[in-house]
Amino acid sequence: MKKIKTIKKRTIEYANKIGFYKLSLVKKRVKMYDKLFLMKEKAMICPECSHKSLEFEGGSYEEGYGDFIACNQCDFTSDVETKFEPLVYGNDFDVLMWFAMDIERNGIKEVEHEIGCSWSEFCTKTIIEEDMS
């Protein structure tokens, strides 16, 4: 049986991945992604068949239809409503992880030049601005 990692352990792992060690802020970030994950999980449940099978389908300007939500288990479809928005925006992209990988490739000086401040300032600002609590 797979053991669920504690918030403390996940916080430390995330801090090590991004190279930012203000653990109280990192913990907020980890909790925010937990919340986003749960919102997405809830939004995936089809209101007709109750399977966790709803997916976002991008529209086509050329073919004349907009974005919509569709179930891959039944015939349910819907326009994108507020309750389905977590499927649209998801929680796949993490700007801090992206820049942390950029730091590994190009060095911190180049990234700090690109972001216009120190890495610590950028992490702090990003976590505070994106906080959902």
> Burial level of 9, CB count in 10 A (0-12/13-18/19+)?
exposed
101, amino acid identity: M
Mean pLDDT computed over every residue of the chain:
88
How many CB atoms lie under 10 A from the CB of residue 26? 23
Question: pTM for the full model?
Answer: 0.74
Q: What is the mean pLDDT of residues 91-120?
A: 93
Q: Mean pLDDT lowest for which of 51-55, 57-61, 75-79?
A: 57-61
Distance CA 61, CA 76 (A): 22
pLDDT score at 124: 96
Distance CA 15, CA 45 (A): 32
Distance CA 41, CA 38 (A): 5
pLDDT score at 95: 92
